[in-house]
Structure 1
Amino acid sequence: MSRPTPTVRVVTDSTACLPDGAADDGGPVVVPLRVLAGERSWREGVDIAPPEVAARIGAGERLTTSQPPGEDFAAVFRELASDGARAVVAVHLSGGMSGTADAAARAGQRAMLPVRVVDSRTVAMALGFAALEAARCAAEGHDAAHVAARAQQVAAASETVFLVESLDHLRRGGRLSGPAAVLGGALGVRPILAVRDGGIELVQRVRTRRAATDRLIDLAVRRAARCDAPGVAVHHLGAPERAAEVAERLQERTGTTPVVTPVSAVLGAHAGPGALAVVVADLGNHGHDEPPL
């Protein structure tokens, strides 16, 4: 039996890479970003999925991305208000990577109910875990301030590290500086990247794909060991076997069963086929202990 719909609702965006079913029964409402090719536009998760993005990039097609239009947010806020919501907490990918949070904030100023926007300063399941924890707090009856604070807490206590086959997609999309792309793209080097301070940084250069994968797992295991209650996720674009292997090794070493999902279509357009990412978030240390309203 489904639970009553919370009066505070959580909204996120499609770069959260949420697993199937996460938005059911009062879970986060997902607003899709756009994947663009010339004059064509697709809503990710609705009109286009990660495998098609990988196939199009592999065929040499140049893809770009765009934040959701303000009307998409306005329509979601109207629908939630008509369903009985009294407030919305909108948790979105880093403002350093996209104008999505700003678009949500502008739409929220004109909404029929109060909207709090949280710039997660991160992306993928680091954002997803934050949105899910926020929705859990909302389902427990906490107010919008508490829900937003919990989203911010989880996002700040997360780490995302990833590998790409080529840095060209990140460089062309403006997500990685030219000097970092040059350093990371040296011949025979596999770069390890991380989402830090709302942007993407080059963390380390490793010689082989296997060594890079091992290092990715080591970094995630070290991070999980520092968490009270680690949440772990593995993402990929067109590399399900590698993702399954990494998830199995992470489960063996952390005792936590990872969430495994394709990287979102928008993130895939910037990371490129073969991308592999690991997210670790601390889901413990819930520091807001006031009783729900």
Structure 2
Amino acid sequence: MTDARPSTSLPPVRVVTDSTACLPPAAPGGATPLVVPLRVVAPDGEHREGVDLDPVAVAERIAAGELLTTSQPPPEDLAAAYRDAVRSGARAVVAVHLSGALSGTVGAAARAGQRAMVPVRVVDSRTVAMGLGFAAQAAAACAAAGADAAHVAERAAQVARAGRTLFLVDSLDHLRRGGRLSAGAAALGTALGVRPLLEIRDGRIQTVQRVRTRAAALDRLVTLAVEHAAGCAAPAVAVHHLGAEDRAADVAQRLAGELGVAPVVTPVSAVLGAHAGPGALAVVVTDVGGHAH
């Protein structure tokens, strides 16, 4: 949690998000969202991602054969974030979270918001990773500029809607076991020996295309990201990975060359990594332009 001491420099509307946003380290300031950790459930207990467990540890545990599951934050953790916001001077909270079709976090945020001391607007981003992170950052920038809660929430939804989140995994088994991908879809990919290119569409994981080789899949990933960026007034780009740092750096370099935009590069969050598995690689492109506070 963040420092809860009152500060007149913080905006009256505070933005809260969750750890699946995969936000890069940020300089202190009022435009930084508060982050509530989700949980990774392992044989030795429950761990708060980013606090007790990081993506590297997740990859190591999966490689060692541990079966990991995940859990939304308990409402009391969200309520604590809202109290922190109030103690720092907030008169309203905008809570922007990962897709409600993939997690119960949105529902938990709504329940916690009903008991908060200030109004809480909950935004289902219908996405994950920096698709969520860019939305939370844009909302926090609006809040820092003095916008009201309705405007801040709409800005979060606008940036989330404008994004496309594409990803590749080395194995579909983790998504199947976690219930994020149907057994039929996972079996089809395995039987055909293909590498499905996946995306978050309408809040759920769906197949975009099946590609035979990793190299071809990476090429297609870059091509689709560049095509989406072409329709953006001001594209924001992120690359995520779990144990695939070299591939992520290569993809980021290719995207920077094509788009003239330096991508944010971060490990995928521990919770997302538990579902995607080691070797996962994702690209997020969204439009952060065309907006006045």
**Where on the TM-score scale, by shorter chain, does this alignment land: which range?**
over 0.9
How many Å separate the matches in 1 of 2:226 and 2:28? 28
- TM-aligned CA deviation for residue 60 of structure 1: 0.6
Is 1:223 the counterpart of 2:228? The answer is: yes
- TM-aligned CA deviation for residue 79 of structure 1: 1.5
- TM-aligned CA deviation for residue 78 of structure 1: 1.1
- TM-aligned CA deviation for residue 38 of structure 1: 3.1
- TM-aligned CA deviation for residue 185 of structure 1: 2.4
How many Å separate the matches in 2 of 1:116 and 1:39? 35
How many Å separate the matches in 2 of 1:37 and 1:260? 27
Is 1:268 the counterpart of 2:273? The answer is: yes
Identity %: 70
Residues 174-253 of structure 1: matches in 2 within 5 Å?
A: 174-253=179-258
CA contact (8 A) 1:23 1:30 kept: no
The alignment's TM-score, normalised by the length of structure 1, stands at 0.95
Q: Aligned residue for 1:166?
A: 171
Task: Render the CA deviation track for 1:21-50: whole Å, top value 9, x for unaligned.
Answer: 166444100000000013501000000000
How many Å separate the matches in 2 of 1:143 and 1:274? 41
Give 3-state SS (helix, strand or coil) of 1:137's partner.
helix
Of 277, 283, 288 in structure 2, the residue corresponding to residue 278 of structure 1 is: 283
- Aligned amino acid, residue 65 of structure 1: T
How many Å separate the matches in 1 of 2:94 and 2:256? 32
Give 3-state SS (helix, strand or coil) of 2:47's partner.
strand
CA contact (8 A) 1:36 1:42 kept: yes
- Aligned amino acid, residue 153 of structure 1: Q
Unaligned stretches of 5+ residues in structure 1: none
How many Å separate the matches in 1 of 2:167 and 2:39? 22
Instruction: Please tell me the root mean square deviation across aligned C-alpha atoms, in Å.
Output: 1.4
Q: Aligned residue for 1:90?
A: 95
Of 19, 37, 42 in structure 1, the residue corresponding to residue 42 of structure 2 is: 37
How many Å separate the matches in 1 of 2:29 and 2:284? 23
| Divergent runs of 4+, >3 A | 22-26
CA contact (8 A) 2:123 2:157 kept: yes
Q: Aligned residue for 1:64?
A: 69
Give 3-state SS (helix, strand or coil) of 1:6's partner.
coil
- TM-aligned CA deviation for residue 82 of structure 1: 1.4
Q: Aligned residue for 1:18?
A: 23
